[in-house]
């Protein structure tokens, strides 16, 4: 296993772990989607998707392009006894290995800043969303208290981390993502930014009866 995957997972488990259940609960409340198929994009160790599986009836696909991260995710699935509803999926966000309209809820925390072709990625997410489906994509900490705690811990590990975090969640990112979504002609999206997060919500309208 590559050291970068191990190091990434160490931070996920030891620093960011408290954020995943909180963000999962926020996603459940804000989207209202509790059943069907969920796709956790750039899942890493699968912590957000697993947190959603624990509080909903969703079947969850954990998508990542890194074999080592998916090995970690599979171990987490097995350890938690979630094999029946959670599985891993190898692939990239700009070529998601799923059929059209296969997903009711698409989520991701942190990965969108790493996407090579963001326009294509959002088009792919929209393609796999079912009618009435929602994508909830972004970066956040759950609460201001957790943000403060995580910021302090990450600053110890990387003196430039605070500056990087402020940049990627700043107003310029809002403008950049808005431009990308408009260029991709995604018809219904919202971008919400506050002191503890930046989240993009995309809703694929269900056809009128």
User: Following CA atoms 127, 189, 19, 120 in sequence, which dihedral angle do they give, to the nearest 10 degrees?
Assistant: 40
pLDDT of residue 207: 65
pTM: 0.93
Confirm if 89 and 61 have CB atoms less than 8 A apart.
yes
Q: Alpha helix (H) ranges present in the chain?
A: 3-14, 19-31, 47-55, 67-79, 118-128, 144-157, 161-168, 171-183
Coil, helix or strand for 111? helix
Where in the chain are the domains?
3-8+20-140
Structure-token pair, residue 72: 């970690």
3-8+20-140: CATH topology:
Rossmann fold (3.40.50)
**Residue 2 binned pLDDT confidence (cut-offs 50, 70, 90):** very low
pLDDT tens digits along 154-164: 888 888 887 88
Which tops the pLDDT comparison, 162 or 70? Answer: 70
Shortest CA distance to 182 belongs to which of 174, 172, 192? 174
């Amino acid at each position: 296993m590559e050291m970068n995957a191990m190091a990434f997972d160490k931070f996920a488990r030891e620093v960011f772990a408290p954020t995943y259940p909180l963000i999962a609960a926020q996603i459940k409340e804000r989207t209202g989607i509790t059943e069907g198929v969920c796709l956790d994009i750039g899942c890493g160790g699968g912590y957000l998707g697993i947190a959603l599986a624990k509080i909903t009836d969703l079947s969850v696909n954990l998508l990542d392009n890194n074999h080592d991260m998916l090995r970690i995710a599979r171990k987490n699935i097995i350890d938690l006894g979630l094999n029946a509803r959670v599985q891993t999926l190898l692939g990239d966000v700009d070529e998601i290995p799923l059929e059209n309209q296969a997903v009711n809820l698409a989520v991701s925390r942190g990965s969108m800043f790493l996407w090579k072709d963001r326009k294509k990625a959002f088009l792919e997410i929209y393609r796999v969303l079912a009618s009435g489906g929602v994508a909830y994509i972004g970066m956040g900490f759950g609460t201001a208290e957790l943000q403060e705690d995580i910021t302090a811990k990450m600053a110890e590990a990387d003196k430039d981390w605070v500056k990087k975090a402020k940049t990627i969640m700043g107003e310029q990112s809002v403008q950049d993502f808005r431009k990308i979504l408009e260029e991709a002609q995604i018809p219904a999206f919202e971008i919400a930014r506050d002191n503890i997060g930046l989240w993009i919500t995309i809703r694929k309208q269900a056809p009128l009866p």
